[in-house]
Amino acid sequence: MKKYFFLSIFSVFLFLGCNPSKENEQQKDTYVVDNYTKKEVAITMRDGVKLHTTIYSPKDTSKEYPILMQRTPYSSAPYGEGKMKTKISPNIHLMKEGNIVVYQDVRGRWMSEGVYDNMRAYIPNKTANQSDEVSDTYDTIDWLVKNVENNNGNVGTWGISYPGHYATVSTIDAHPALKAASPQASIGDFFFDDFHHNGAFLLSYFRAISLFGTYKDTPTDSAWYSFPKMNSQDQYQFFLDKGPLKNLNEYFQYDKLDVNATASKDKIDDFFWKEITEHPNYDSVWQSKGIIQHMDKVPSTVATMVVGGWFDAEDLYGPLETYKGIEKYGKDNYNTLVFGPWDHGKWSRNTVKNTVGNYYFGDSISLKFQSDIETKFFNHFLKGKGNKNSGLPEAYVFDSGRKEWKSYDAWPPKNVVKEDWFLSENQELTSDKKSTEKINFISDIKRPVPYSEDIKTVFTPRKYMTDDQRFAARRPDVLVFETDVLTEDYTLAGDILAKLKVATTGTAADWIVKVIDVHPSDIDEDNEGLQDHLKMSNYHLMVRSEVLRGRFRNSFEFPEPFTPNKKTDVNIKLQDVFHTFKKGHKLQVQVQSTWFPLIDLNPQTYVDNIYKADESDFKTQTHTVFTDSSIEFYVLKN
C-alpha cells in the first residue's frame, strides 16, 4: 500500500506556525466579516501567468489606507464568496486600525497558475518576459496600487517562515510603492536553513518534504500532496531501523504502489527530495536559491524590520543573515532587528505565558511586541512621516538569561569583546590553555546520541532548543566542559565560533557543539510548565547549538575526507545569542558527533553522496578532541 496520509490545510499551518488564522474552527469573532469586504482576483504577471490574490478592504471608504501584503505558498484560504478569514494582517491592532490586507498564492501553489519552484532563484538581469519571485512581487504591487480603491499608495509586506522569505524577496529591486517590509523567521539559504544545517540534512524534517516537492500545474483549492505515514511514535527507532537515507526513497514514489520491486527502489517522484539527494554539496543549484546574497539590491526607500526567535529551530540563520546583509550593503537603509525568546513564529500568537518547550521566559512578551513594536513600525512607514525617526531602536533584543528586553544602536552591541575559552582536560572550560591532551570517545552508529530524551514523532522539531541537556551530558560519547560557578554575571551578545582540533579513525564525521546554561541546584522550583520528570534544580538549558558536516570544514562546495588519525581544524559557527549566564550558574559546552534523528547519520567513512550510501559504508569510529580546542564568544562589557 502507499505509505501516506493526508493532513488538512489547517494542520499544515499549525505545524509551520505561519498562519494564526483558524478558519476551520467555530469562532465567535466576526470583526473581519463586520468591517471588511473580500474580493478575489487573478493578477496577470509579465509572462502571462495569473496569480490568485485575495483582497480584504475596510468597509469604511471615507479615507485611504495602506496595503499590507503577504505572499504565501501555504494558501490564502478560505476561497469563495462569503468565506473570510477570522483574523487578518500581522496582528489584531493593525487589523482593527484599518488597512487593506492582501494575501496571494505564489506561483504554482493552490489557486495560482504556473509551476512551483521551491526557493525559486532570483534572476538579476531579466529579459522582458522572464520572471522570478521578485518580478511577481513587483507586478502584484503595481497592479494593487493602480486598481484597489481607497489605497494611499503605500505598501508593506510581512510574513513568517516561508512567507517571511517572500517578504525579503519583496525588498529586492523593490517597487517604488513598497515602503516597509518585515521578514520574520525568514528562510535565507536552504543549505543553512530548515532542511540543512551547514550541509547536514535535517532528517527530522523528513515528513515535510512532500509539502514542497509534489508536482502540480493546475490551480486547486484542495491539498494535492500527502505526507509519509511512519506508523511509529518513536522517531529515533524508526529512522535507526530504516538505515541509509536511500531507504527513504520509497516514501517519495507517488506513482507506484509496489515499492518492493528492485527496479523501483531508486525511483523518486518528489522533485524536492530528488533535488536534495542529487545535490549533496553547496553547488550552483543551492547557491542560486539563496536570497541573502542579494541584500545589496535593497533600496534605501524600503524600511525593514527583521524579526526572529532566539530559540527558533527552523529559521535562525535566515533572519540574522538577512539583517546583517542589509546592514553590510544598505548604509542609508532603515533596518532594525527584533529578536525575542520565541520558537518559530510564536511572536504572532496571542498567548500571555511565553514558553519554549519546558522553559518559561515571562508573560505578555509577544503581546508587547505586537502592540509596541510591530504596529508602530508599519504605522510609521505606511501612515506616518515615514522618516528614520520611527521611535524604535536599531536592535530590540531579549536577554534570555536575565529575561528582559534591551535596546541597542547596533547589533552586536558596540561594547563587546572577543574571548576564548579552552576545552581543557578534566571536563573543565578554562580561560587559559592548560595543555594539549587527547580526549577520545567512541561514536557508535548503532547508538547515536539522541537530540531529545522524549519518545515522540513530530512534524518538525522545536522543543529541543531549550531542552534540559542532562540526558546528553551523562553519555560517554558526549564530551562535557564546564566553568566553575560564576561569581558575576557573564553576558554573550553575538555569534559564537567553536575552533575544534579533532581527529577520527575514520574518514568522515559530523561535529556538534552546544552551549549550555547550568542552573544552580538551589534554584526556585517555580516553572509550572516543566515535564513531570524534570526539575529546575541543575537544569541544563541549551542556549545555542549547531552542527557541521565535517566534509565541509574547508568548503561547502568541495567536500573532502578526513585523513585517519590526523589532527585537523574544524571551525563551527554557531548563530548569535543574547544570554546572560547569571552569577551562581555555570557555562557548559558539550561536543558530540551524532544528534539523532535531528540530523541524518553520518556513515563515518567518506562517500561521495551520503544520500546514496550503502549500509556497509556505516562504521563505528573513535573520535578525538584535543584540549587546545577553544570556543570564541562575543562578551558584553558594561
pLDDT tens-digit series, residues 429-454: 999 999 999 999 999 999 999 999 99
Looking at residue 459, its pLDDT comes to 85
Split at pLDDT 50, 70, 90, the class of 256 is low
Residue 6 vs residue 180, higher pLDDT: 180
What secondary structure does DSSP assign to 61-96, as a single string?
-SS-EEEEEEEESS--PPPSTT---SS-SSSHHHHH
Looking at residue 264, its pLDDT comes to 58
Say yes or no to pLDDT of 258 above 60: no
How many Cβ atoms are within 10 Å of 357's Cβ, its own excluded? 22
Split at pLDDT 50, 70, 90, the class of 25 is very low
Look-up: residue for cell 547508538? 447
At 277, which helix (H) or strand (E)?
A: helix 271-278
Helix axes 133-147, 162-171, angle to 10 degrees: 80
Say yes or no to pLDDT of 18 above 80: no
Say yes or no to pLDDT of 458 above 80: yes
Looking at residue 309, its pLDDT comes to 98
Candidates 500, 480, 488, 487; CA nearest to 588 is 480
6-10, 95-99, 102-106, 634-638: range with lowest mean pLDDT: 6-10
170-179, 220-229, 301-310, 394-403: range with lowest mean pLDDT: 220-229
Looking at residue 24, its pLDDT comes to 43
* Mean of pLDDT over the chain: 93
Split at pLDDT 50, 70, 90, the class of 263 is low
Look-up: residue for cell 468565506? 83
Per residue in 564-587, pLDDT (tens digit) is 999 999 999 999 999 999 999 999
Task: Name the 3-class secondary structure at 379.
Answer: helix
Say yes or no to pLDDT of 5 above 60: no
Radius of gyration of the chain (CA): 25
Look-up: residue for cell 508599519? 378
Looking at residue 129, its pLDDT comes to 87
17-31, 85-99, 329-343, 568-582: range with lowest mean pLDDT: 17-31
Say yes or no to pLDDT of 12 above 70: no
Say yes or no to pLDDT of 503 above 90: yes
Candidates 211, 205, 275, 270; CA nearest to 239 is 205
Per residue in 328-354, pLDDT (tens digit) is 998 899 999 999 999 999 999 999 999
Separation between Cα atoms, residue 25 and residue 86, nearest integer Å: 10
Say yes or no to pLDDT of 594 above 90: yes
Looking at residue 267, its pLDDT comes to 84
Looking at residue 128, its pLDDT comes to 86
Separation between Cα atoms, residue 70 and residue 109, nearest integer Å: 14
C-beta separation of 448 from 596 below 8 A: yes
Looking at residue 265, its pLDDT comes to 62
Say yes or no to pLDDT of 7 above 80: no
C-beta separation of 203 from 276 below 8 A: no
CA distances from 442 to 13, 424, 503, 590 (A): 41, 19, 12, 15
C-beta separation of 502 from 512 below 8 A: no
C-beta separation of 227 from 211 below 8 A: yes
Per residue in 201-237, pLDDT (tens digit) is 999 899 999 999 999 999 999 999 999 999 999 999 9
Question: Residues 89, 92, 98, 103: what is their CA dihedral angle, to the nearest 10 degrees?
Answer: 10
Task: Name the 3-class secondary structure at 615.
Answer: helix
Say yes or no to pLDDT of 542 above 50: yes
Residues 6 or more apart in contact with residue 287 via CB below 8 angstroms: 293, 557
Looking at residue 28, its pLDDT comes to 63
Say yes or no to pLDDT of 635 above 90: yes
